[in-house]
């Protein structure tokens, strides 16, 4: 459970940065990309891109495979799925609760009005 | 760090919604009965006061959550810490914030459940990583609408 929590935190921390999100968006469009491909749209130097890739790899959001001189980067969707599952679970949980709250409060309102309050 | 945010219009005045959210009697009513009965409901709605609610799900499992009122301004605003007892879901403390605004039909309720309440991470959220979640969503097999701020 604690590991799960830590993984979620890492996933979302990785996603906070706009450059990293843009890298993920690029990877979403392509099946895979080289590091220099990924760096092209950004006005930052290659080492800075490498650092972002390190963060994404640590969060398990990408994989890197080296063949010869080229490093191929791919998106790894599992951590995102976990993050989405957290959001989905709580969204459903609270949507149901708020339905109950609304029904109860609306009943109370009707009752108050019938008493002329 | 992660948060779920929901907005809902309720045909009742803010004071009534506020009391439904913060009093033991109110909580006992709306935490059930869809998913099973509320077994226990306690609340001391003032800053530093605690609440506790225990309920049984239809599958027979019992769950308890509790927390402390951090901010409470009747009838507009309540912030509370929140945690599950027994660690069914993720352990650790999270934060619930409820804002109530008077609208012609009654109340607009904005509900936020944040996993962490650190101000800096919250600002980062507002800067909009959820936009990218939406974009990346297309990648995944299960389509869903996750709302977060």
Confidence band, pLDDT 50/70/90 cuts, at residue B62: confident
Contacts for A92 with CB less than 8 Å, ≥ 6 apart: none
* Overall average pLDDT of the B9-29 stretch: 93
Domain count, chain B: 1
Share of chain A above pLDDT 90, in %: 26
In this model, does residue B27 exceed pLDDT 60? yes
CB count in 10 Å sphere of residue A53: 20
CB-based contact A8 B1, cutoff 8 Å: yes
pTM recorded for the entire structure: 0.63
**B47: domain range?**
3-134
Residues B100, B76 contacting (CB under 8 angstroms): yes
Does some domain include residue B145?
no
pLDDT of residue A29: 79
CB-based contact B109 A98, cutoff 8 Å: yes
CB count in 10 Å sphere of residue A57: 15
Does some domain include residue B115?
yes
Contacts of B82 in chain A (CB under 8 A): none
Is B70 in CB contact (< 8 Å) with chain A?
no
Does some domain include residue B141?
no
* Overall average pLDDT of the B47-51 stretch: 96
How would CATH label the architecture of A2-76?
Orthogonal Bundle (1.10)
* Overall average pLDDT of the A89-105 stretch: 86
For A59-92, how does the pLDDT look when each residue is reduced to its tens digit (9 = 90+)? 889 999 988 888 999 988 777 777 777 677 777 8
Does some domain include residue B148?
no
CB within 8 Å of chain A, chain B residues 18-57: 19-21, 26, 29-32, 34-35
CB within 8 Å of chain A, chain B residues 90-149: 90-92, 106-107, 109, 111, 113, 115-116, 121, 124-125, 127, 129, 132-133, 135-140, 142, 144, 146-148
The strand pairing partners of B102, in sequence order, are B107
CB-based contact B146 A88, cutoff 8 Å: yes
* Overall average pLDDT of the B121-133 stretch: 42
CB-based contact A90 B13, cutoff 8 Å: no
In this model, does residue B119 exceed pLDDT 80? no
pLDDT of residue B32: 62
Does some domain include residue B61?
yes
CB-based contact A77 B140, cutoff 8 Å: yes
CATH number at residue B94: 3.30.530.20
**For A71-75, A108-112, B33-37, which range has the lowest pLDDT when averaged over its residues?**
B33-37
Residues B141, A85 contacting (CB under 8 angstroms): no
Contacts for A99 with CB less than 8 Å, ≥ 6 apart: B34
Does some domain include residue B100?
yes
In this model, does residue B21 exceed pLDDT 90? yes
Residue of B nearest to A24 (CA): B136
pLDDT of residue B29: 85
Residue of B nearest to A30 (CA): B139
Confidence band, pLDDT 50/70/90 cuts, at residue B82: confident
pLDDT of residue B138: 37
């Amino acid at each position: 459970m604690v590991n799960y929590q830590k993984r979620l935190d890492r996933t979302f921390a990785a996603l906070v940065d706009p450059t990293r999100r843009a890298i993920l968006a690029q990877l979403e469009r392509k099946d895979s990309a080289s590091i220099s491909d990924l760096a092209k749209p950004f006005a930052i130097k290659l080492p800075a891109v490498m650092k972002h890739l390190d963060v994404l790899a640590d969060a398990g959001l990408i994989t890197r495979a080296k063949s010869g001189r080229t490093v191929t980067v791919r998106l790894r969707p599992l951590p995102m799925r976990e993050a989405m599952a957290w959001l989905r679970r709580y969204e459903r949980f609270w949507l149901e609760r708020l339905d109950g709250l609304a029904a109860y409060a609306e009943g109370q309102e009707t009752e108050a009005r019938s008493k002329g309050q | 760090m992660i948060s779920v945010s929901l907005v809902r219009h309720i045909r009742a005045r803010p004071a009534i919604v506020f009391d439904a959210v913060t009093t033991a009697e109110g909580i006992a009513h709306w935490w059930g009965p869809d998913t099973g009965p509320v077994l226990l409901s306690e609340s001391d709605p003032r800053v530093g006061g605690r609440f506790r609610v225990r309920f049984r799900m239809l599958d027979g499992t019992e769950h308890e959550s509790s927390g402390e009122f951090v901010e409470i301004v009747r009838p507009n605003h309540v912030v509370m810490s929140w945690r599950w007892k027994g660690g069914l879901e993720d352990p650790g403390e999270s934060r619930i914030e409820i804002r109530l605004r008077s609208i012609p039909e009654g109340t607009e309720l904005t509900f936020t459940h944040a996993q962490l309440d650190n101000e800096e991470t919250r600002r980062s959220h507002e800067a909009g990583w959820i936009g990218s979640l939406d974009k990346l969503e297309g990648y995944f097999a299960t389509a869903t609408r996750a709302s977060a701020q």
